[in-house]
Chains A and B, each alone.
Chain A
Amino acid sequence: MKYIDEFRDQKQARDIAKAIAREAHADRRYRLMEFCGGHTHAIFRYGVQDLMPDNVEFVHGPGCPVCVLPIGRLDEAMQMVETHGVILCTYGDMMRVPGAKRRSLIQAKADGADIRMVYSTQDALKIARDNPERQVVFFAIGFETTTPPTAVAIKQAQSEGLENFSVFCNHVLTPAALGAILNAETPVDIDAFLGPSHVSTVIGSGPYEPFAEQYGKPIVIAGFEPLDVMQSALMAIRLINEGRTAVENEYTRAVTREGNTKAQALVNEVFELRDAFEWRGLGLIPKSALQIRTEFSGFDAEKRFPVQAQPVSDVKGCACPEILRGQKKPLDCKLFGAVCTPENPMGSCMVSSEGACAAYWSYGRHRQKADQEGQSKGAA
């Protein structure tokens, strides 16, 4: 497949792996936080860690939009469909996430709620057009990648006079999350970041520069293909070795410093900053999310369908919050694989296709088994 296979080539992978082994100093560790769940899954799906020297470690970041959405917001979406009787359109990733009392949208659907899985905002608009007698709410989640399509949908609904369409806006901002991690009370032990791939095509590499400077951490914008991740790791190791705290761009085939200014303008036209937004794992972060501007308030589901969910705490023992902050890994969680599995998830990190726990479970479980066997043999 053109433009894909080139970035999964075994020979090139070996060459980059050799370069990393050569350049990584044996007397130190390199802890690289890959920001996005997309990176985490590339690392696991292709076994990238196997090609790395032992002292180069990937730490998984918070870049999984499903994982960082607090349970309360999911419950509010359920209230919209169950109390107000709307058709709720959602991306597939949200379907299995456990809400209050660990009830998911899939279960709500089985109970009769009209929940439709869509691939794009355009599908949601079509459902609104096809069901003029029903209210249709699009459950908008995601970082800056998915925000422009939501803006387009709102503008389109406005120009078509599609009065039965509205958006439950949960769009969040990447730089705010990065800031929250770097500002944490117990700062996470990270040497460099592999920066977002798709998000950066929209916002550009510029917004990361203040973080690199202020916190002294190099950031390399990394594509989602396995060779992108490896090449970015090599670039990050070089920056660390040289003591340079710059932002570098590995994903040059899609990302510029300025980003997609047209998309940015569109987002600014439709959305404005929220004062603060609750993130799962990262807590309440000021100016970290978007809300729909007053000019478009007719399409704001939060205004149209009043909902109020009770705050819900995570399942006791669930380490998702620490995992999202990069302070723990899935195998450090006592629930992982014991009571928490994709079939019986305790937290969203186990069900989202970008969640770190899901990656460990689906692709990396052999490491855990091998570790356990090693330990039990050691004990004997």
Chain B
Amino acid sequence: MGINLKTGKVDMSHGSGGRAMAKLIDELFVKHLDNAFLRQGNDSASFDMTASRMVMATDGHVISPLFFPGGDIGSLAVHGTVNDVAMMGAKPLYLSAGFILEEGFPLADLDRIVMSMAEAARSTGVSIVTGDTKVVEQGKGDGVFITTAGIGIVPEGVTISGDRARVGDAILISGSMGDHGIAILSKRENLEFETTIESDSAALNGLVADMVKAVPQIHCLRDPTRGGLATTLNELATQSGIGMQLNESAIPVKPQVAAACELLGLDPLYVANEGKLIAICAAQDAGNLLSVMRDHPLGKEAAVIGRVVEDRHHLVQMETCLGGQRVVDWLAGEQLPRIC
């Protein structure tokens, strides 16, 4: 008898290493994620490589809710790691996936999640070549946690790194800020509000491939996920030992995101994104890079938002929409809603 995908639930036997686990792997994971590496059924995947430089990244996903407007934990687990690999200018090839399942989690939901992972991997052009499943007792997990790791190869002549921003460089972003975080918040328990915003969760490797083809000498790429644009720019400023000067009016924020942020007392520059990137390149390359980004569906709203400046304090500063000047600081802890 096969596993019951309609009403069945994860139980401790699914993590025991016995027949129940084998069935779950065959009838759910391998069924959706099928590829030659998985079919070999070995403890690890083996493959030949010819690249001179490779990159590897890993990313744990613990999102709540598991399903949200514009995606779910499955697609996010693929996009997150693919993007981390792509931010080195690399072409992502293979992913691993580790699942921690909570006892009692509906198999139907797991099926939906794995199907979504498979679809995300297919459309991104990567294969999930090895995986692992563990089950924890009820109350010791939050439905499902997924950790993915990915490897990719870097094209010749590309040396992208967070410490390469130089004074005079241009700072670009690929689109509007804060969509993912607001989409998630709108579905959080105790905080549901109506919005048409969907998560921007997307794999950026296609966009990056176009960008490094046109401008292989890009200095930095990074996706502004947790902590948003502000936090990620501060990371880059510290890593490169420079300061930044931004222009608030140039930073695209969707009106619905801006409105939700006003209501909740949040700053969109600190809200998470899952399908956007920051690029830093020499000023003379900015025009070319911007037009390549805008030609890609995931970069249509790309914009130059500022420049790299000399600053021994490594501050990110911004000319406000009003014409004044402010610091754009690291986020301290979680962004908390205000009361007044």
Contact = CB atoms under 8 A, between A and B. Distances in A.
Query: Do A and B come together as binding partners?
Result: yes
A354 B340 CA distance: 9
A49 interface: yes
Contacts of B325: 47, 50, 366
B338 A13 contact: no
A361 B329 contact: yes
Interface string A114-139: 00111100010011000000000000
A116 B329 CA distance: 27
Contact of A47 (B258, B322, B329): B322
B1 interface: no
A93 B333 contact: no
Interface residues of B, number: 29
A364 interface: yes
Interface stretch (B62-70, B108-116, B119-127, B313-321): B313-321
Nearest to A369: B313
A354 B321 contact: no
Of B191, B264, B265, B332, chain A has the most CB atoms within 10 Å of the CB of B332
A347 interface: no
B336 A96 contact: yes
Interface stretch (A141-149, A177-185, A241-249, A325-333): A141-149
A126 B190 contact: yes
A45 B340 contact: no
B6 to A, nearest CB: 29
Given A91-B337, A142-B339, A366 B315 contact: yes
A49 B324 contact: yes
A280 interface: no
Interface in B285-333: 313, 315, 317, 319-327, 329, 332-333
B338 A363 contact: no
Contacts of A106: 333
Given A4-B262, A8-B322, A119-B264, A365 B336 contact: no
A343 interface: yes
A207 B262 CA distance: 29
A107 to B, nearest CB: 12
A45 B319 CA distance: 10
A24 B265 CA distance: 33
Contact of A123 (B190, B315, B336, B338): B190
B264 A50 contact: no
Interface in A333-370: 341-343, 351, 353-354, 361-366, 369
Interface residues of A, number: 54
Of A36, A145, A226, A227, chain B has the most CB atoms within 10 Å of the CB of A226
B259 interface: yes
Contacts of B339: 65-66, 91-93, 141-142, 146
B337 A46 contact: no
Nearest to A51: B324
B17 interface: no
A212 interface: no
A361 B330 CA distance: 10
Given A365-B315, A369-B313, A92 B337 contact: yes
B322 A226 contact: yes
Contacts of A49: 324
A60 interface: no
A95 B265 CA distance: 15
A307 interface: no
Interface in B108-146: none
Contacts of B157: none
Nearest to A362: B329
B41 interface: no
B255 to A, nearest CB: 5
Interface in A302-318: none
Contacts of A353: 265, 336, 338
Of B190, B324, B327, chain A has the most CB atoms within 10 Å of the CB of B324
A144 to B, nearest CB: 10
Given A92-B336, A92-B338, A13 B329 contact: no
A380 interface: no
Interface string B234-261: 0000000000000001000001001100
A164 B77 CA distance: 41
A370 to B, nearest CB: 10
A14 interface: yes
A1 B332 CA distance: 27
Contacts of A362: 327, 329
A138 B42 CA distance: 55
Listed from nearest, the 10 A-B pairs whose CB atoms lie closest are A47-B324, A92-B336, A342-B332, A91-B339, A50-B324, A363-B326, A46-B322, A92-B337, A46-B320, A47-B325
12 contacts: A46-B320, A50-B323, A51-B322, A93-B338, A95-B336, A119-B191, A119-B337, A142-B340, A198-B340, A226-B322, A351-B332, A366-B326
